[in-house]
Structure 1
Amino acid sequence: MVTDTKTKASTKKKKKKKGKRTPFRQTPWFTVVWVAPILIAVLAIAVVAARWFVGTPTGAEFLANYPGHSELPEGTPEGFPWWAQWQHFFNFFLIVLIIRSGWLVRTQRKPEAFWTRNNTGRFTTKRPPTKMSLYLWLHLTLDVLWVLNGLIFVILLFASGRWARVVPTSWDIFPNAVSAGLQYLSLDWPAEMAWVNYNALQVLAYFVTIFIAAPLAAITGLRMSPVWNNDWKISRFYPAPLARAIHLPVMFYFVVFIFFHVVLVFTTGMRHNLNHMFSWMPEGSDSWWGFVMFALALLVVVAGWILARPIFMRSAAQLTGKVTSR
């Protein structure tokens, strides 16, 4: 009886410990509470300073000399072809699920299910079968599709001559980027003419995203993948901790890029911009078709988000390996 009483008492204590809430100061939200006001204050000061500068003769002269965009090489095609529109959607769909699955891989302590590679076939090695969480399997599978989509995009970009729209071709891209930044900060935003030419800040952002951030994400992701053999000599010069230290900031870069990209799309002429990338409407059209197609694309992404769970992923994962619960 005494033992039973002690057992019940210890059980109650455990329940109380489990139900105990984490102090607010120890949660990530506490950082937001005091960081957000500081960022807002800094932004407000920057807006006032930018508006003051562009109102001075020096600022006006600077904007006149550098309007915010560089001239494109002669013959650079205009507009957005059908393949760019389709790949924009595929990239949108894949990157959202890649970020979600990657974050779950990083934060989950006890995965709900695991995937073990079939250790049979022509290219089987003597290594034991690769075992990973089901979310890591999803992350790597989506990565392969994302890299393939990116390679096709880059090939078509150069084959069509549209590379000059997202690759700086002259040194004046940098003062023009400063000019575009001043115009954004002064709340007198640069003219939107994406059908013909991006402003300098957009060009630099797209260049960094396509040709720096995306390759870094792929290269560091490969190093962190279970398929990487630590016995390879290159592993000494390219350790996993280095790849991990780069991979997470690159993910945050994509999150920030997507946030500002979406904000600018909706605040610089929503219907106009969405028609560029989600419909067949000509330049200057104020049709709602682009918005309708974007809404449908968003529904597909939401459906993918919902279906990216072990209960739904199991069937697909079992095509290439064995799925087991924890």
Structure 2
Amino acid sequence: MSALRASRWFPLVWALPLAAVLLVLAVLGSQWFLRSSAGQEFLAAYPGASAVPEGTPEGFPWWMKWQHALNFFLIVLIIRAGWLLRVQQRPEAYWTRRNTGRFKTRKPPTKMSLYLWLHLLMDALWVPNGILFGVLLLVTGSWRRIVPTSWDVFPNAVSAALQYLSLNFPVNEPFLNYNALQVLAYFTTVFVAAPLAAVTGIRMSPAWRAEWKISKVYPVELARALHLPTMFYFVVFIVTHVALVLVTDLRLNLNAMYSWHDEPNPTSWWGLVVFMGVLVVVVAGWVAARPIFMQSVASMSGKVTRR
């Protein structure tokens, strides 16, 4: 028993049951409110979704589908490498850039953990992909689907949250319009959390020099204080997003983002088939994110050494 108390997982002994009790109370409370006259009036005024602006494109273009899959792969590996960087006490292996050719400098190249190398490599792919995604959102008008355009998005988001909690889910029309809670979540993820992760990650990069004047205005301590909570936000968002996709309408949701159908198709299984393929690639990347597998790739651009 003393060993259990000393474990860092001991808080879960009481935290998980408490969370379960609170969740049950939230479900029962939401059901009671929505069945009351006040709840019915609230639902009538705020059904859970704001009207989309005129001219908003319907459906999901091909570029959004492949970027969604690529982004899923990259962000999972970024989170994995970032967390291993935080918890590892002694790196299993190191990577040092070759100081030759056009990359030759007077200062010796920085020696870094192989997990940091992976984290930076995935970032170097994730950031341009995110920029391209933002540009395509703007030029195609698809930004209207995830950017709030009226203040009623907030009471509608509360309404959608209550409907989720009551287990009587809000209307699910992914091809036409997101509910208000989805709009706020997607807006926060694309336009707040992703840029924040990028700018704080860049500040924490080993390429940043302490003698640069901007270091006084933007200290690395501030970047670290913001970067970790942003990572936790992405973890919560991904887990919640995937869970709701699975429980609200599995085939319709996966067909929307992973099949070639241009119209809603709640009966096809192709979206699930493609998603399972993407999931296999993500799991393979997760398993391969270890020094024994990474060193052969990392050695192509630098020297890999063991501790």
TM-score bracket for this pair, using the shorter chain length: over 0.9
- After superposition, what is the alpha-carbon deviation per residue over 1:285-312, rounded to whole angstroms, capped at 9, x for unaligned? 4111111111111111111122222222
User: Gaps (5+ residues) in structure 2?
Assistant: none
Q: C-alpha separation between the residues in 2 aligned to 1:141 and 1:200?
A: 35
Matching of residue 81 in structure 1 with residue 61 in structure 2 = yes
Aligned match for 1:71, one of 51, 59, 66: 51
Which stretch of the first structure deviates more once superposed, 168-177 or 115-124?
Answer: 115-124
2:218 counterpart residue number: 238
Other structure's SS at 1:28 match: coil
- After superposition, what is the alpha-carbon deviation per residue over 1:6-36, rounded to whole angstroms, capped at 9, x for unaligned? xxxxxxxxxxxxxxx9821122321111111
Which residue identity is paired with 1:265?
A: V
Q: C-alpha separation between the residues in 2 aligned to 1:133 and 1:62?
A: 54
Matching of residue 291 in structure 1 with residue 272 in structure 2 = yes
Q: Show the 5 A alignment for 1:62-141.
A: 62-122=42-102, 124-141=104-121
Q: C-alpha separation between the residues in 2 aligned to 1:22 and 1:240?
A: 39
Matching of residue 271 in structure 1 with residue 223 in structure 2 = no
Which residue identity is paired with 1:303?
A: A
Which residue identity is paired with 2:170?
A: P
Matching of residue 168 in structure 1 with residue 148 in structure 2 = yes
Q: Show the 5 A alignment for 1:39-54.
A: 39-54=19-34
Which stretch of the first structure deviates more once superposed, 74-83 or 237-246?
Answer: 237-246
Q: C-alpha separation between the residues in 1 aligned to 2:17 and 2:293?
A: 41
Q: Show the 5 A alignment for 1:19-38.
A: 23-38=3-18
User: How far off its partner does 1:118 sit?
Assistant: 1.9
1:318 counterpart residue number: 299
Q: C-alpha separation between the residues in 2 aligned to 1:208 and 1:277?
A: 20
Which residue identity is paired with 1:76?
A: T
Which stretch of the first structure deviates more once superposed, 119-128 or 275-284?
Answer: 119-128
Q: C-alpha separation between the residues in 1 aligned to 2:149 and 2:112?
A: 44
Q: C-alpha separation between the residues in 1 aligned to 2:124 and 2:8?
A: 32
Q: Are residues 138 and 159 of structure 1, via their aligned partners in 2, closer, same or farther at CA, if it must alter by over 3 Å? A: same
1:147 counterpart residue number: 127
Q: Are residues 47 and 233 of structure 1, via their aligned partners in 2, closer, same or farther at CA, if it must alter by over 3 Å? A: same
1:203 counterpart residue number: 183
Q: C-alpha separation between the residues in 1 aligned to 2:173 and 2:133?
A: 22
- Aligned pair count reads 306
Q: C-alpha separation between the residues in 2 aligned to 1:26 and 1:254?
A: 29
User: How far off its partner does 1:115 sit?
Assistant: 0.6
CA RMSD of aligned residues (A): 1.5
User: Gaps (5+ residues) in structure 1?
Assistant: 1-20
Other structure's SS at 1:30 match: coil
Other structure's SS at 2:107 match: coil
Other structure's SS at 1:114 match: strand
Which residue identity is paired with 2:273?
A: V
Q: C-alpha separation between the residues in 1 aligned to 2:2 and 2:82?
A: 25
Which residue identity is paired with 1:153?
A: F
> TM-score if structure 2 supplies the norm length?
0.96
Q: C-alpha separation between the residues in 2 aligned to 1:311 and 1:28?
A: 28
Structure number with greater Rg is: 1
Aligned match for 1:301, one of 248, 265, 282: 282
1:180 counterpart residue number: 160
Which residue identity is paired with 1:166?
A: I
